[in-house]
Every structure is written in C-alpha cells, then in structure tokens.
Amino acid sequence: MRMLDHAVGEYISSAKTAPYFNNTIFLIFGDHGTSDPKALHMPNSDFDLKLRSYQVPFFIYGPEHIKGGIVRNDVSQLVDLLPTVNGLAGKPYENRTMGRDLLNGEIPIDPLALIINKKMAKPHIAVIGQNYYLSMANRRGGSRVKLHELWSDKPLVNVKDKYPEITDRYLGRLKGIYETTKYMLYHNKK
C-alpha cells in the first residue's frame, strides 16, 4: 500500500498543475488486493479463507466537485463503480447493472458482495458481508454450504449450524444474486 499511496500522491501533485485539474473527478481503484504476507492489521480470515485479493482500495477525489470528505467501510464491489460515476455526473440515467451508487442513496442494512473464489482447493461461489462469509461449492445442489465468521480467531470453522438464520438469509441472497447475474448476461439489452 505504501507504493500505491506514493504513486497516487505523485500523480495528484502532477495533475494539480494541469489545466484540466479543476474540472476533473478522479476515481482510482485497484483491480485486486494484496498477496503480501500476513500483516498485524489483517484479520485471520484474509489468509485462511483466501480473501485478501478481494479487498481493493477505491477512492474518489475532486475537490472542486465534492466538498468535505466521506470514508466508507461498508461492503461494495466493482459493479458499484458505474452507478457511482453516473451519480457523480449529475445527469439522469437508468441503472441497468446490479451495482449501486455508493454516494447517493441509503446504505443497505446488510450489503453483500458476490465472490467467485477459484483460489480454494474446491472453487465456490460466495457472498461476503461485514461479519460473515458464506460459500457454496459451485456444483448442482449446493450441499456444501459453509458460513464463516470473518473476525473470529478461527475463521475456517463452519458456523452454519450455530447461525441458521444468517445462513438461510445469506444463502438465499447468494443464489438470487448468482442466478440474476447469469440471467442478465442474455436479458439486459438496451
């Protein structure tokens, strides 16, 4: 992250001298997280569940267009980028994505992000929230459902029987999101 911070700082410093600076909103995001060794500030789940590459930085900078500052730590995903950019543009638009405008509108009570995790020994589809990660083996029937507590000392422990309501809610949303993405591939034409 130090390298990213330095590079972005240099880029913005250079851009401040350019004529386009005052009429520009900069959106900078990573396409993947870190593969660095475990650091003290990282929870065990980042490594045990192989999630560290799914946490990516995203920031928006436009001092002439965005007053004040906002720090958001809720769950979001790449599909939120387009609605957020459209919202910043200030023009009416029809959102035909599964994303949401991160700066306008209510924050969902329990936002989840879809993950297709091919890094595990058995690939699976999953949703991640603030506190839980639910995965399902990517096979018919989905009999291999697991729920993990992200902030636990032992995140590999399957807690689906301990939290059946959370498991059912996350599993329903996982299936809904996953099936909707497949449907939208062929039925989201303009």
pTM value is 0.80
Is residue 189, in this structure, part of any structural domain at all?
Answer: yes
Is residue 78, in this structure, part of any structural domain at all?
Answer: no
Q: What is the pLDDT along the chain (190 residues), one digit of tens a residue?
A: 567 778 889 999 999 999 999 999 998 887 666 666 666 666 767 767 777 767 777 888 888 888 777 777 788 888 888 999 999 888 888 888 888 898 887 777 788 988 887 766 667 889 999 999 999 986 665 568 999 999 999 999 999 999 999 999 999 999 999 899 889 888 887 6
Nearest-angstrom CA–CA distance, 147 and 161: 9
Looking at the structure of the chain, the number of domains it has is: 1
Nearest-angstrom CA–CA distance, 48 and 153: 10
Is residue 21, in this structure, part of any structural domain at all?
Answer: no
Is residue 53, in this structure, part of any structural domain at all?
Answer: no
Is residue 82, in this structure, part of any structural domain at all?
Answer: no
Is residue 3, in this structure, part of any structural domain at all?
Answer: no
Q: What is the dihedral of CA 73, 77, 81, 87, to 10 degrees?
A: -60
Q: How many CA atoms lie within 13 A of 49 on its CB side?
A: 33
Is residue 7, in this structure, part of any structural domain at all?
Answer: no
Domain CATH for 152: 3.30.1120
